[in-house]
Amino acid sequence: MKIYSRAQIYEADKITAEKESLPSINLMERAGGYLYEWVHERLQGGKVPIKVFCGIGNNGGDGMVLARYLVENNYNVTTYVVNYNTKRVPDFLEAYDRLKSVTKNWPIVLTEESVLPEISPQDIVIDAIFGIGLNRAPQDWVKKLFSAINASNAYVLSVDIPSGMYMDRSPEEGDVIVLPRFTLSFQAPKLPFFLPATAPFMQAWDILDIGLDPEYLAKTPTDVELIGKQEVIQMYKSRHQFAHKGMFGHSLLIGGSYGKMGAIVLASKAAMRAGSGMVTAYVPQIGVQILQTALPEVMAETDNFNGKVLEEIDFQTEANAIGIGPGMGTDPKTVKAVEGFLKAQKNPMVIDADAINIIAAHPALLEHVPNLSIFTPHLGELERLIGTWKDDFDRLEKTSKFAKTHDIIIVIKGAHTITTHDMKLYINDSGNPGLATAGSGDVLTGVITGLLAQGYHPMEAALMGVYFHGRAADIAINQYGIEGLMAGDVIEFLGRAYMDLFAKPEEPKAP
């Protein structure tokens, strides 16, 4: 699913109005009408007190239309104009007049001098104060209103985006954002919904299709995409009945050290479950027995040293794909081995954990990393690789530039894992907090390597790998719970994640 920028949303709005030869207020009427339907379906005329807070831009206009429908249908509504600015936009004014024409209870105008209204936990609050147009810090009294809404314990429904959330920067000290119970966003989700500093405000949300011009939406390329089941189905290649193991590639996982053999065991097993025809693990001698005992399906190769860490990386396996890093450590001898190894590589591979740390500490090695290799850092590793950042948006910009410069793919692991290549961002749609557990990254490395070995393009392998890893965890928590989930459980549910691609979607849960 495409994620449009603010400029693209405004453009879509303009083009839709032009094409339909309708004044733009009609689009606002449509948006407000859909908001009303959503609310009405749930309240069924119930006389709960509804407080609609409207700004004076188009987001406020949407709120005004919703308020009018509520009034016309005899709901118990009080409407407020949060008059944060002198520039009331024309469509807002029109929607405001239309509301005033149907009721004697005109909206209450709130300004800096006003006493803010009491909000009780029984109220329903509609937050239509700021939409995607927020471009500077609101005045203190407006922030106080946001805080009062948040402190009220009322059910809060945000229109389009929680008020106070920016489209292009993370919250800073002193910022306040409305924390809604639910957000109804128009046409497509917005980038901040998925970033660490702002995603916690998006506990539940849905998209309202307000009929923006489908042609414009379809033909406009976006810098950001959301990757879910639909996108993965398009990349998936099904197997025919007479397939044999030689057709699905040989994965080689390099890593492990004394005390950290589990990481390479998990990665190797995950590569098998991801569908790699064969898997070999290249480990220090100390690890051979452990690996062979843990995983009879996986072959082992080792170096010529009797050490606890890898001192050499020189293998016979003719691998279709290599994943390096899990449990490897950063012993100087291993660093030398990695240097030698990288210089000999031509094909894209998966680079994780200590292999990332080694490259970060020896940036000259980047030159030897094959193009389209997939780096899978968590935030700590990413910082070592690319340096520090100001906020979530800055991190994305710096990471995509770094990936572009070195022609690599970077998978930034997090609650919403984001993959970047060629200045585009791909946000993963699956996964849950259960994945914040030891070994989960090693499993991901194995899955991506296994997909790469099967002949998927590195971008497909990265996006599918991240998706399946998350989806397997989503299915696994039905059995283990979020707290109980372990990395090994994710591996056990990988098969189910593949099967789920073609399963009938579940009924959405009621908010």
Ligand X SMILES: NC(=O)C1=CN([C@@H]2O[C@H](COP(=O)(O)OP(=O)(O)OC[C@H]3O[C@@H](n4cnc5c(N)ncnc54)[C@H](OP(=O)(O)O)[C@@H]3O)[C@@H](O)[C@H]2O)[C@@H](O)CC1
> Residue ranges for the binding site?
58-62, 127, 131-137, 160, 163, 263, 327, 378, 413-417, 441-442
Report if residue 26 touches ligand X, rule: CB under 6 A.
Answer: no
Q: Which does 163 bind (CB under 5 to 8 A by kind): K ion, ligand X, none?
A: K ion
Out of 59, 79, 428, 454, the residue judged to bind ligand X by CB under 6 A: 59
Rounded to a whole number, what is the distance in angstroms from the first to the last CA of the chain? Answer: 22
| Per-residue x/- track, 200-239, ligand X (CB under 6 A) | ----------x-x---------------------------
CA distance 329 to 323: 15
> For the residues of 313-350, what is the DSSP string, one character each?
-------SEEEE-TT----HHHHHHHHHHHHT--S--E
* Smallest separation, CB 340 to ligand X (Å): 55
| Per-residue x/- track, 106-145, K ion (CB under 5 A) | ---------------------x------------------
Report if residue 183 touches ligand X, rule: CB under 6 A.
Answer: no
Give the CA radius of gyration of the chain: 27
* Smallest separation, CB 499 to K ion (Å): 39
Residue 241 neighbours by CB under 8 Å, 6+ apart: none
Closer of 107 and 450 to K ion (Cβ): 107
CA distance 375 to 458: 11
Cα angle 38-44-50, degrees, rounded to a multiple of 5:
70
DSSP, res 418: E
Q: Contact, 353 vs 328, CB < 8 A?
A: yes
List the structure tokens of 486: 């372990």
Q: How many helices (H) and strands (E) does the chain have?
A: 17, 18
DSSP, res 199: G
Out of 53, 80, 84, 155, the residue judged to bind ligand X by CB under 6 A: 84
Closer of 188 and 291 to ligand X (Cβ): 188
Q: Which of 307, 319, 198 is nearest to 259 (CA)?
A: 307
Q: Contact, 364 vs 449, CB < 8 A?
A: no
> For the residues of 123-185, what is the DSSP string, one character each?
-EEEEES--TT--SPPPHHHHHHHHHHHHT--EEEEESS-TT--SSS---TT------SEEEE
* Smallest separation, CB 157 to ligand X (Å): 13
Size of the site for ligand X (CB under 6 A): 33
Report if residue 82 touches ligand X, rule: CB under 6 A.
Answer: no
Report if residue 159 touches K ion, rule: CB under 5 A.
Answer: yes
* Smallest separation, CB 164 to K ion (Å): 8
Report if residue 133 touches ligand X, rule: CB under 6 A.
Answer: yes
Closer of 127 and 381 to K ion (Cβ): 127
Report if residue 80 touches ligand X, rule: CB under 6 A.
Answer: no
Report if residue 163 touches K ion, rule: CB under 5 A.
Answer: yes
Closer of 142 and 466 to ligand X (Cβ): 142
Closer of 87 and 240 to ligand X (Cβ): 87
Q: Which of 145, 120, 132 is nearest to 48 (CA)?
A: 120
Within 37-56, which residues bind ligand X (CB under 6 A)? Answer: 55
| CA dist list (Å): 336 to 309, 332, 364, 365, 475 | 12, 6, 13, 11, 41
Annotated binding-site ranges for K(+): 59, 127, 163
Single-letter amino acid code for the residue at 212: L
Out of 107, 131, 192, 327, the residue judged to bind ligand X by CB under 6 A: 131
CA distance 74 to 46: 9
Report if residue 186 touches ligand X, rule: CB under 6 A.
Answer: yes
Binding segment for ligand X among 157-165, 240-248, 396-404, 473-481 (CB under 6 A)? Answer: 157-165
Annotated binding-site ranges for (6S)-NADPHX: 58-62, 131-137, 160, 263, 327, 378, 442
* Smallest separation, CB 179 to K ion (Å): 12
Give contact residues for ligand X (rule: CB under 6 A).
9-10, 12-13, 27-28, 31, 55, 57-62, 84-85, 87, 89, 130-138, 159-161, 186, 210, 212
- Where do contacts with K ion occur on this chain (CB under 5 A)? 127, 158-159, 163
